[in-house]
Amino acid sequence: MTSPFSRTHALDGGPSVHLRLARRGDLNLLLALLARRGVEANALEVLRLLSFDPALRAVVCAFAPLDGRETLVGLGAIDLHPGADLDTLVVDERLSGGLGDLLGHTLRRRAQGRSSHVA
């Protein structure tokens, strides 16, 4: 099975996106996404979201080429344990239809795959 991070994903009515794990350096990009969605955010709280242990939690970003540059258009997060569900999902659906479903599916599969390795 191909990793969701190694390919682009076509979205209905929107640009293709690529996924990757979030990084602390994504702080300003995530703040800009939240601002486009009308969400007021504290930079320290957002930085906490981006500071995670990848063995325990997955935080995934979605990027799309918009106006000639790669733009953060979505972010989702989930703890990696049995029965976990998304606790964070922010998408700019005006730009990328179906992005929430893609992020949700990817994160749930990651948690499920990780939880099957936990004794």
pLDDT of residue 1: 56
User: Domain ranges in the chain?
Assistant: 8-115
Q: How many residues does the chain have?
A: 119
- Dig out the tokens for 103 from the structure: 């992020």
pLDDT of residue 100: 92
The tens place of each residue's pLDDT in the chain, 119 residues long, gives 578 888 889 888 778 999 999 999 999 999 999 999 999 999 999 999 999 999 999 999 999 998 889 999 999 999 998 889 999 999 987 775 789 999 999 999 999 886 444 43
The vertex-104 CA angle with 99 and 108, nearest 5°, equals: 155
* Dist CA 77 CA 17 (whole Å): 17
Beta-carbon contacts of residue 110 (< 8 Å; ≥ 6 apart):
58, 60, 78, 80
**Domain 8-115 classification at class level:** alpha beta
pLDDT of residue 96: 59
pTM of the model: 0.87
